Amino acid sequence: MPVESSDSSSRLRLIAELIRFPSQTGTLLLMLPTLWALVLASRGRPDPILLTIFAIGSFLMRSAGVILNDIADRRLDRQVERTKARPLASGRLPLATALAVLFVLLTISGSLLLLLDRLALLLSPIALLLATGYPFAKRILPLPQAVLGAAFGWGVVMAWAAARGTLDLQAWLLFAATIAWAVAYDTIYALQDQTDDRRVGIKSSAILFGQWTWLAVAVSFGLTMLCLGAAGWLSGVGPVFYGVLAVSGGFVSQQVLALRGPVSPPLAFAMFRQHTWIGWAILAGLWIGFV
């Protein structure tokens, strides 16, 4: 019995590692734009049930997304210093176990969808298609970060549909803002692996933009602010929101300055994680803007 208990504990630790449970930055970056949509669509009075559904759904879908990514990339991950120790790449976790966990996550996510209205339910297959396509986009497209942004942004579209039962212009502006934001922060994230990515043939925006990465991040985040500002203006959000956007722009400008020089992998990861605070600030600005 002690041996079986130890094996079960070890497997649970590996599953937690597989879904990146110790680090929920990705979950927050997926969840926060959906919360922007719920707050904006409801004019600052989001349905607590919808908030709960999209918060839980973000955790489940992000966990499912990283499993899909690791399944598709397990052979390539063995050749990249940062990822070679991942459970599937290292062989510490069987592929069958990863597939079983993926099935459970998608089943629970599907159950949550049944709590949403018909339009949101009809939109959901596109979310799965985008999440499945991202790992392969890295092999084909020079800017796979845009596909990641679309996958994250589709949650915004679904959240708006769930709150309003329609798809207004603001929903698409938030969708565009989420794509641009993902290009900005994931370009920074990709700086960690650009040497290994070139060697194994993985494409990324960090490789595409090269010495102009700082400019690409500046333009991408500028587009994020522009789309968010337009969505807020169309919805009648108060001036506090625009103050938050200005402060966020100033914060990212410091990152842009740092990107003009050498960026170590630890610094790139730290800068990437800072974007969760930007997401929270924007959410607070939207909420207060309707007070």
pLDDT by position in tens, the chain (length 291): 444 555 778 889 999 999 999 999 999 999 999 999 999 999 999 999 999 999 999 999 999 999 999 999 888 888 888 888 999 999 999 999 999 999 999 999 999 999 998 999 999 999 989 988 888 898 899 999 999 999 999 999 999 999 999 999 999 999 999 999 999 999 999 999 888 888 888 889 999 999 999 999 999 999 999 999 999 999 999 999 999 999 999 999 999 999 999 999 999 999 999 999 999 999 999 999 998
DSSP string over the chain: -HHHHHHHHHHHHHHHHHTTTT--HHHHHHHHHHHHHHHHHTTT---HHHHHHHHHHHHHHHHHHHHHHHHHHHHHHTTSTTTTTSHHHHTSS-HHHHHHHHHHHHHHHHHHHTTS-HHHHHHHHHHHHHHHHHHHHHHH-S-HHHHHHHHHHHHHHHHHHHHHSS--HHHHHHHHHHHHHHHHHHHHHHTTTHHHHHHHT---HHHHHGGGHHHHHHHHHHHHHHHHHHHHHHHT--HHHHHHHHHHHHHHHHHHHHHTS---HHHHHHHHHTHHHHHHHHHHHHHHHT-
What CATH number corresponds to the domain at position 220?
Answer: 1.10.357.140
Q: How far apart are CA 188 and CA 224, in angstroms?
A: 15
Q: In which domain, by residue range, is 63 found? A: 2-289
Kindly report the pTM of this predicted structure: 0.93
Q: How many domains does the chain have?
A: 1
